[in-house]
Amino acid sequence: MVELRTVILSKAKMCSDECVKKSSSNKLSESIRNRIEKGQHKGWQSRKVVSYPEKFFIEVLKNNNLSYEFNYPINKRQILGVDEPYNYFIDFYFPDEKIALEIDGSQHRYRTDHDTLRDSRLSKVGIQVYRIKWKSINTNSGKKYINEQINNFLYFYRARKENLPLETEEVRDIVA
């Protein structure tokens, strides 16, 4: 019984989501800072791996004839004037409209402070960030949710492209 309890406790690493957020962000930041100082940090290597949500939205954007740049790098020093040594990467960037479409997976629930700061910095240089929280499309509710998010984004994109006001309060709330 003691061995089983030990195994169970070892899998329950943190007491709450807040503890996970604090622990993982501090360890990650400290680790990256150390590698940057030693000149060993090469950026995120997983950028070459396209996630299922990203593949899904590549098809959505293609089907709607929208031109974008995928995993577009934003140099923090040159573009944002921030003295930090690594880039931001935008999932889908629409340069003519200055829209950054971000598809947020579950890891973003621990990165809200980082995402808020990032969005603010991009906004200051005229880039509007539009976030869609990914939900599995394996259920009817997930399919309905993603379909609504796609339609809301397309409405936002067209309004921004044509310099039209966002007419409905619902869409204004989503974009804010």
Is-contact 77 62, C-beta < 8 A? no
**CATH number assigned to the domain covering 48-175:** 3.40.960.10
Give this prediction's pTM: 0.68
* 121-156: b (≥16 Cβ within 10 Å) or e: bbeeeebbbbbbebbebeeeeeeebbeebbebbebb
**pLDDT greater than 80 at residue 23:** no
Per residue in 92-116, pLDDT (tens digit) is: 999 999 999 999 876 766 678 888 8
Across 60-74, average pLDDT:
95
Nearest 5°: phi and psi at 69? -115, 130
pLDDT score, position 66 = 96
Q: Both tokens of residue 99?
A: 């829209």
C-alpha span between 115 and 147 (Å, rounded): 24
Kindly report the length of the chain. 176
First to last CA, the chain: 52
